[in-house]
Amino acid sequence: MSENGERMMPGKGLLDGLAVTLKTLTRRAGTQQYPDVQPDLPPRSRGVIALSEENCTVCMLCARECPDWCIYIDSHKEEVVVPGAARARQRNVLDRFDIDFSLCMYCGICIEVCPFDALHWTPEFEYAETDVLDLLHDKNRLGEWMRTVPPPPAHDVLGEPSKEEATAARKAAGPGAATAAKTARPAAVRTTPGTPAAPAPPPTPVTPPEPRPSAEEPGPEAGR
């Protein structure tokens, strides 16, 4: 019986299923033979996270903002002697930078909050392990993923310039460029010889206001 209460022909469901099968058999299969054929991933796919150790300043922002607490950082301070300085300066030296990908939820917060572009997304996803403890990647292994980081997309010519480009343009123009642009007068309109210039608009006549009688002077109806 159908949903409307009508009696169905015996074997109609089987025929409908065979029709779908025959229709599928005539189409070309779209299955990719992975791993022989690598998938075409989108440019912003989220795979493993790469670390650029020379950009890391051990600010701990990524470890503090991580909702899973899967980033472990250790460091120590070293004194750097600067020629001409009154005293030696200190800098942080990175000793340990580990990411536990068995806990990572791939939210991307650590990459967004990094102020010096030390963390990057890579499209690599083939890092499965037979032991869950091997999913803890240290700074050396995270640094090896940097070779797979794709280059940034080209800047849109119609879009706004980046902060770095705007700052470089201001420095190249010099400190007096902005002041000169503000105080510059508009250039005079050039006319072709032999072409009469457009006449200036006539001045608008100003009608003086009528004088009002003073309170001390009696009006014309005061004597009536």
Instruction: Mark the binding-site residues, compressed into ranges.
Output: 56, 59, 62, 66, 104, 107, 110, 114
Instruction: Mark the binding-site residues for [4Fe-4S] cluster, compressed into ranges.
Output: 56, 59, 62, 66, 104, 107, 110, 114
The average pLDDT across 198-205 equals 62
Between these two residues, 159 and 4, which has the higher pLDDT value? Answer: 159
Tell me, what's the pLDDT at 203?
A: 63
Q: In degrees rounded to 5, what are phi and psi of residue 173?
A: -75, -25
pTM of the model: 0.59
Classify residue 34 by burial, with Cβ atoms within 10 Å: 0-12, 13-18, 19+. exposed
* Domain ranges, ordered by start, for the chain: 49-148
Of residues 78, 97, 167, 188, the one with CA closest to residue 138: 97
Tell me, what's the pLDDT at 217?
A: 53
Tell me, what's the pLDDT at 224?
A: 44
Between these two residues, 40 and 224, which has the higher pLDDT value? Answer: 40
pLDDT per residue as tens digits for the range 86-121: 888 888 999 999 999 999 999 999 999 999 999 999
The DSSP 8-state label assigned to residue 173 in this structure reads H
Between these two residues, 160 and 75, which has the higher pLDDT value? Answer: 75
**49-148: CATH, from 3.30.70.3270, 3.30.1050.10, 2.20.25.10, 3.40.50.920:** 3.30.70.3270
Pair 118, 94: CB distance under 8 Å: no
